[in-house]
């Protein structure tokens, strides 16, 4: 697993790049604020319920959560399931909001 900073993700989004963002927070957290990722809570990843993400196995996938802890776990799990290019958003949405607001 590698890390990616909020600045790198924001720069790429601002440039119009299509990113495969996966939000592993809970639905209420996602509803509060999100950056456009697919909502796929960590519990579903733990249960290996990844059908929705299967088509991304060979692509870059950036996972994020509130602080970077759950997404770090999710990134390692996805790698163990055959995802080859998973990145964890360092600091999660807390870092994003701290740097860019909501």
Which sequence positions are flagged as catalytic? 65
Task: Report how far residue 49's alpha carbon sits from residue 15's, in angstroms, rounded to the nearest whole number.
Answer: 32
What end-to-end distance do the CA atoms of the chain give, in Å?
27
Between CA 77 and CA 28 the distance in angstroms is: 23
**Which is nearest to 76 in space by CA: 32, 46, 54, 47?**
46
């Amino acid at each position: 697993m590698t890390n990616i900073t909020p600045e790198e993700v924001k720069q790429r989004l601002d440039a119009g790049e299509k990113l495969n963002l996966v939000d592993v927070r809970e639905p209420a957290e996602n509803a509060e604020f999100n950056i456009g990722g697919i909502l796929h809570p960590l519990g579903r990843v733990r249960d290996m319920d990844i059908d929705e993400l299967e088509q991304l196995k060979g692509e870059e996938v950036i996972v994020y959560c509130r602080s970077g802890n759950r997404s770090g776990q999710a990134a390692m799990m996805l790698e163990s399931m055959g995802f080859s290019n998973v990145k964890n958003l360092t600091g999660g949405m807390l870092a994003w909001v701290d740097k860019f607001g909501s």
